[in-house]
Amino acid sequence: MCGIVAYIGHREAYPVVIKGLKRLEYRGYDSTGVALLNGGNLKVYKKKGKVAELEDYITGKDLKSHIAIGHTRWATHGEPSDRNAHPQMSGDGKLAMVHNGIIENYTQLKKELLSKGHQFTSDTDTEVLIHFIQEIKSSNQCSTEEALRIALKRVVGAYVILIVDEDNPDTLIAARKGSPLVIGVGKGEHFLASDASPIIEYTKEVVYVNDYEIAILKADELILKNISNEIQTPYIQKLDMELAAIEKGGYDHFMLKEVFEQPQTIFDSLRGRLDAKAGKLTLGGLREHMDMLKDANRIIIVACGTSWHAGLVAEYMIEELCRIPVEVEYASEFRYRNPVVGKGDVIIAVSQSGETADTLVAMESAKEKGAIILGVCNVVGSSIARLSNGGVYTHAGPEIGVASTKAFTAQLAVLCLIGLKIAEAKGSITGQRFQHLLDELEGVPDKVAIALKLNDQTKAIAAKYKDARDFLYLGRGYNFPIALEGALKLKEISYIHAEGYPAAEMKHGPIALVDENLPVVFVATKDRYYDKVVSNIQEIKARKGKVIAVITEGDQIISGMADDVIIVPESDELVAPIISVIPLQLLAYHIGVLKGLDVDKPRNLAKSVTVE
Ligand code: F6R
């Protein structure tokens, strides 16, 4: 979703901002732009399309400036076009603003401004906001900073905004509510961005701006205030991230790199927490909530997309290990149906980005009802992490490919740790089973490495089926959510219609789709449902469907039935999803690549969905 970058300091600002915008391309966008102060004059350049197109458009212009703001826009108000791209300017041409988020009451504000004679050149809520600020500034005869503060008190919605002001060429102003903003603190320079990726190569010292804070930046000064104009102390943190983590490192795509990183990222998600030899499991972020967790009446998992699938796997895990009822909710639905949440309920919010608006809103509403919220997040310091009362980071490292892969398997590993920890505290698991599962979890990274060796074989299967119009993905038990995840990956990356179903449910409708043209992917590793899944495969074969099956090594039965098999190492059914999803990620990746699609940035998708 939209990305912002800004620079103020001793360097040339334009190259820093353009490079930063390229680092944010993974978030998904459809237009882009920059504003800078060249010779004291405010210049704005913006274009529909990619950052490279903006660069071509600007070539040859005098871009000298030590202050600049930039934006990648994912259209909300108004189609992707040059005029709707950010930055947007005030009517007098002196202020330029980039904005992430949505101003919900912009129609009302626009009406007021129109009645005062303002004219608008775009369809955006952003242009309304910058006009509103300018209107306050001129009618109150105050500074831009003061006008911004007054304006934000009227604004309903979520935003990060950055403003450059022609009359204050050595100052950048930023404000945040509900969308992420990171400030990089250098020597005589400051960097601002939606996440740390544009900043990491310049400085590791960062400040995460909080909601309702305004930052006033000069090259060598950072003043942080709250919306009531009280000075706040910036909390400078050290980024725990290396530049290599956000580069492709020899892979053709970020997605492939991230798929192949999984033995390491799963290991990282377990590191310092799981000690199978000692039979110990430590989750510091849950320590003070353990009593409440083990006595919970109900655990409600809220999430979206792939993270929701991780929640579904966790439902099976936690119910089995802890005998606590678990509900898995689409965050977007949970919030608006006035859910029954009460004492004894624990909410677990699962999110890679930690910025997903639907999940944040669901958490806020549950918090208002008095529930305790735990977060399972990948991005340290993200909004969801900060809104949580406790939780566990997944530590998968930055995920740049829009389709989530390594974050998903890290979520599964962490959710399994959480289930085991609660079960241990509750005494709902035998010592033997607990130890067995610790051993199994510890063995997962190596088994994932073995599954990755099937890359070439999976590519050959991808070539065989890449022209199919639809795919069906089926699985039972722990593998049912993996079927959903496999279907989602294929949809996102290859634009092929795919559906995931519980294998048995197929008889109740989707079987009507089966003919010789329909590839059906079975996630059919050895578990308690195995015999039933074999019957389901027979039902598909009897109708001439093409069966691609992910099976456990040594399985002769399905090998003899399926058209194509992908063999993964044997494991306990509770951890099997972390391994069986790997070939499905690879299958989607290769089909997308073979179809010539941009797998890292699929059309219409955004990495971090910061609007509801
Ligand atoms: C799918 C995907 C999305 C996200 C969803 C939630 O590959 O990436 O479905 O899982 O938008 O995002 P997070 O996990 O950041 O809350």
In the chain, pLDDT over 90 holds for what percent of residues?
85
Total residues found in the chain within this entry: 612
Q: At a CB cut-off of 8 Å and minimum separation 6, what does 348 contact?
A: 299, 300, 301, 302, 311, 314, 373, 374, 375, 376, 391, 415, 418
Residue 608 pLDDT: 76
For all residues of the chain together, what is the average pLDDT?
94
Output the CA 605–ligand 1 centroid distance in Å.
10
Residue 220 CA to residue 200 CA, distance in Å, equals 19
Output the CA 308–ligand 1 centroid distance in Å.
8
pLDDT class of 278 with cuts at 50, 70, 90: very high
Range name among 249-258, 303-312, 404-413, 564-573 with the lowest pLDDT average: 249-258
Residue 304 Cβ inside 6 Å of ligand 1? The answer reads yes
Cα-to-chain-centroid distance, residue 110: 32
Residue 144 pLDDT: 97
- Give per-residue pLDDT as tens, 144-185: 999 999 999 999 988 999 999 999 999 999 999 988 899 999
Longest Cα–Cα distance of the chain, Å, equals: 81
Amino acid occupying residue 532: K
Task: Give me the sign of the Cα torsion angle 384, 386, 390, 392.
Answer: positive
pLDDT class of 593 with cuts at 50, 70, 90: very high
Residue 403 Cβ inside 6 Å of ligand 1? The answer reads yes
Least Cα distance to 146 among 138, 137, 155 occurs for 137
Residue 158 pLDDT: 83
Cα–Cα distance list, 336 to 106, 359, 383, 601 (Å): 22, 12, 20, 30
Residue 40 pLDDT: 87
pLDDT at 4 over 80: yes
Residue 428 pLDDT: 97
Residue 388 CA to residue 177 CA, distance in Å, equals 17
Residue 359 Cβ inside 6 Å of ligand 1? The answer reads yes
Residue 349 Cβ inside 6 Å of ligand 1? The answer reads no
Using DSSP, state whether 8 is helix, strand or coil. strand
Cα–Cα distance list, 35 to 17, 22, 68, 388, 506 (Å): 10, 16, 6, 36, 54
pLDDT at 607 over 80: no
Q: At a CB cut-off of 8 Å and minimum separation 6, what does 535 contact?
A: none
Residue 331 Cβ inside 6 Å of ligand 1? The answer reads no
DSSP one-letter string for 483-517 = HHHHHHHHHHHH--EEEEEEGGGGGGTGGGG-STT
DSSP 342: -
Task: Give me the sign of the Cα torsion angle 75, 77, 79, 81.
Answer: negative
Among 308, 404, 412, 493, residue to substitute to test ligand 1 (most atoms within 8 Å of Cβ)? 404
Q: Is residue 359 within 8 Å of 250, Cβ to Cβ?
A: no
- The sheet that has 345-351: what strands, in order across it? 326-330, 298-303, 345-351, 372-377, 390-393
Residue 75 pLDDT: 84
Residue 501 pLDDT: 96
pLDDT class of 605 with cuts at 50, 70, 90: confident
Residue 214 pLDDT: 97
Q: Which fold has domain 3-244?
A: Glutamine Phosphoribosylpyrophosphate, subunit 1, domain 1 (3.60.20)
Residue 394 Cβ inside 6 Å of ligand 1? The answer reads no
Q: Is 94 a catalytic residue?
A: no
User: 398: cis peptide before it, omega within 30°?
Assistant: no
Residue 552, sorted as left (phi over 0), alpha (psi -120 to 50) or beta, turns out to be: beta
Measured by CA distance, the residue closest to atom 5 of ligand 1 is 305
Catalytic residue among 22, 48, 137, 607: 607
Residue 297 pLDDT: 93
Strands (E), 74-193: 88-89, 95-103, 157-165, 172-177, 182-186, 189-193
Amino acid occupying residue 518: L
Measured by CA distance, the residue closest to atom 7 of ligand 1 is 403
Catalytic residue among 2, 322, 377, 416: 2
> C-alpha dihedral over 237, 243, 244, 249, to 10 degrees?
150
Give CA angle at 397 (453, 284), nearest 5°.
115
Q: pLDDT: is 367 or 495 the higher one?
A: 495
Residue 530 pLDDT: 94
Q: Is residue 101 within 8 Å of 129, Cβ to Cβ?
A: no
Least Cα distance to 411 among 474, 476, 485, 361 occurs for 485
Among 195, 312, 352, residue to substitute to test ligand 1 (most atoms within 8 Å of Cβ)? 352
Helix H, strand E, coil C: the string for 356-425 is: CHHHHHHHHHHHHCCCEEEEEECCCCCHHHHHCCEEEECCCCCCCCCCCCHHHHHHHHHHHHHHHHHHHH
Output the CA 609–ligand 1 centroid distance in Å.
8
DSSP 246: G
- Give per-residue pLDDT as tens, 418-435: 999 999 999 999 999 999
pLDDT at 243 over 90: no
Q: pLDDT: is 401 or 611 the higher one?
A: 401
Residue 352 Cβ inside 6 Å of ligand 1? The answer reads yes
End-to-end, the C-alpha distance of the chain in Å comes to 12
Rounded average pLDDT over 371-380: 94
DSSP 57: H
- Give per-residue pLDDT as tens, 33-63: 999 998 889 999 999 999 999 999 999 999 9
Amino acid occupying residue 72: T
pLDDT at 263 over 80: yes
- The number of the ligand 1 atom at minimal distance from the alpha carbon of 609 is 11
Residue 281 pLDDT: 96
Q: Is 2 a catalytic residue?
A: yes
Least Cα distance to 501 among 518, 481, 517 occurs for 481
Q: Where are the alpha helices (DSSP H) in 427-575?
A: 431-452, 455-465, 480-494, 530-542, 556-559
Domain 453-606: assigned CATH number = 3.40.50.10490
Output the CA 499–ligand 1 centroid distance in Å.
17
Least Cα distance to 497 among 462, 524, 473 occurs for 473
Q: pLDDT: is 25 or 301 the higher one?
A: 301
Which tokens is 436 given? 């067995």
Q: At a CB cut-off of 8 Å and minimum separation 6, what does 118 contact?
A: 91, 131, 135
Residue 335 pLDDT: 84
pLDDT class of 249 with cuts at 50, 70, 90: confident
Using DSSP, state whether 355 is helix, strand or coil. coil
Q: At a CB cut-off of 8 Å and minimum separation 6, what does 283 contact?
A: 273, 392, 417, 418, 421
Residue 246 pLDDT: 81
Residue 536: exposure state from Cβ atoms within 10 A (0-12, 13-18, ≥19): buried
Q: How many CB atoms lie within 10 A of CB 367?
A: 16
Among 301, 302, 356, residue to substitute to test ligand 1 (most atoms within 8 Å of Cβ)? 356
Which tokens is 272 given? 């310092």
- The number of the ligand 1 atom at minimal distance from the alpha carbon of 489 is 7
Least Cα distance to 157 among 224, 199, 221, 211 occurs for 211
Residue 588 Cβ inside 6 Å of ligand 1? The answer reads no
Output the CA 390–ligand 1 centroid distance in Å.
21
Residue 96 CA to residue 442 CA, distance in Å, equals 53
Residues of the chain with CATH 3.40.50.10490: 248-449, 453-606
Residues of the chain with CATH 3.60.20.10: 3-244
Residue 357 CA to residue 75 CA, distance in Å, equals 16
- Give per-residue pLDDT as tens, 107-157: 999 999 999 999 999 999 999 999 999 999 999 999 999 999 999 999 998
Residue 609 Cβ inside 6 Å of ligand 1? The answer reads yes
pLDDT at 381 over 90: no
Candidates 3.90.1170.40, 3.40.50.10490, 1.10.240.10, 3.30.70.260; CATH matching 248-449: 3.40.50.10490
In the chain, pLDDT over 70 holds for what percent of residues?
100
Residue 39 pLDDT: 84
Residue 305 Cβ inside 6 Å of ligand 1? The answer reads yes
Residue 492 Cβ inside 6 Å of ligand 1? The answer reads yes
